[in-house]
Chains A and B, each alone.
Chain A
């Protein structure tokens, strides 16, 4: 069971943060294009789900899975989107992503007077805390490359 990578987007589509731990295959396009494609795909999935849903939704789109990986999604009311790709054995990650938002993003970015919201996150403290938080998760297990 392992975590591949993590993206954080803001409401305008800017990728605020990206880190990877265990990624085997690159997308074949540049990083900027990959962020835009990922954001566009999530935007389309959200609108697709709201139209298709037979009943009014509370949380909306939560996750999707393919034959090799599972993508977990969490969006805050302010438009901050946290996306995590893991392998298939990982159960529902919504509260973990919520924890990343509340204990890491809010504490180290929003409350930091030097961090400009809307741009790529520069805080070294945030990066290191996020890394140690992810590595401490029970289903994080770096497979030998």
Chain B
């Protein structure tokens, strides 16, 4: 049972805080001989598998490292184009590590703003009167919980589907935000949160939530 990450989005939809608590990394490293039986393509400045699936390598996985050296986008660490490198049979046998690509900060910013809009559309398309936006989004691998305060700040927590007590955790994060970010005289509203005490208290709140499973009142 784990809490994967926490996002805080301001009134305008911009990401002001992001923390990755636990990111499960399923990576597979294998040695390949020429020719490579997976079809690779460039997508979003990364080299991803477009066709072919074996031994834990799935479609959508990105090339993370070649021969133990981390790649740099679509180029190897030395600056060679990866697809060209892998077409050359003299470079084989080669050991490639595949896995889910990590989100860059830019992508996190875009996803947070995307969620901000989806939250509003969820409220607009409601068949019932007086509905809020999306408070909980469920998939088979994670559950996304969102709490919107009266001032428009959204606290978003991605957790394991079986994790309980996330509503209490969201209220607790709001409390930590108002204590260590809002009461900080050097913090400007709606700006990225760079308060050490906020980070520390958030980390301990997440630890407590993961261990206890629920949050009691007044903790």
Give how many B residues have a beta carbon under 8 Å from the other chain's beta carbons: 38
Tell me the minimal C-beta distance from A107 to chain B in angstroms.
Answer: 27
A54 to B121 Cα, complex, angstroms: 25
Segment with Cβ contacts to B, from A42-50, A97-105, A124-132 = A42-50
Which residues of B lie under 8 Å from residue A56 when comparing CB positions?
26, 58, 60, 100, 141
Establish whether residues B114 and A44, one from each chain, have CB atoms under 8 Å apart when the complex forms. Answer: yes
8 A Cβ contacts from A32-67 to B: 34, 37-38, 41, 44-45, 48-67
Establish whether residues A4 and B128, one from each chain, have CB atoms under 8 Å apart when the complex forms. Answer: yes
Interface string of B104-146 (1 = CB under 8 A from A): 0001000100110110011111111111111111111110100
A64 to B123 Cα, complex, angstroms: 12
Tell me the minimal C-beta distance from A95 to chain B in angstroms.
Answer: 14
Does any Cβ of A come within 8 Å of B24's Cβ? yes
| Residue from A4, A50, A54, A56 whose CB has the most chain B CB atoms within 10 Å | A54
Segment with Cβ contacts to B, from A8-16, A17-25, A74-82, A112-120 = A17-25
Interface string of B51-84 (1 = CB under 8 A from A): 0000000101000000000000000000000000
Establish whether residues A48 and B111, one from each chain, have CB atoms under 8 Å apart when the complex forms. Answer: yes
Establish whether residues B139 and A61, one from each chain, have CB atoms under 8 Å apart when the complex forms. Answer: yes
Establish whether residues B127 and A67, one from each chain, have CB atoms under 8 Å apart when the complex forms. Answer: no
Tell me the minimal C-beta distance from B33 to chain A in angstroms.
Answer: 26
Establish whether residues B127 and A4, one from each chain, have CB atoms under 8 Å apart when the complex forms. Answer: yes
Which residues of B lie under 8 Å from residue A54 when comparing CB positions?
4, 23-24, 100, 141-142, 158
Does any Cβ of A come within 8 Å of B150's Cβ? no
Interface residues on A, range: 35 or more
Establish whether residues A64 and B138, one from each chain, have CB atoms under 8 Å apart when the complex forms. Answer: yes
Establish whether residues A58 and B140, one from each chain, have CB atoms under 8 Å apart when the complex forms. Answer: yes
Which of A34, A38, A62, A65 is close to B135, meaning CB atoms less than 8 Å apart? A65
Q: Beyond A56-B100, A66-B133, A69-B127: 8 further Cβ-contacts under 8 Å?
A: A41-B125, A44-B118, A53-B139, A54-B23, A57-B141, A61-B137, A61-B139, A65-B136
Could you list which residues of chain A lie within 8 angstroms of chain B, going by C-beta atoms? Answer: 4-5, 20, 22-25, 27-28, 34, 37-38, 41, 44-45, 48-69, 71, 85, 87
Could you list which residues of chain B lie within 8 angstroms of chain A, going by C-beta atoms? Answer: 4, 23-24, 26, 58, 60, 100, 103, 107, 111, 114-115, 117-118, 121-142, 144, 158
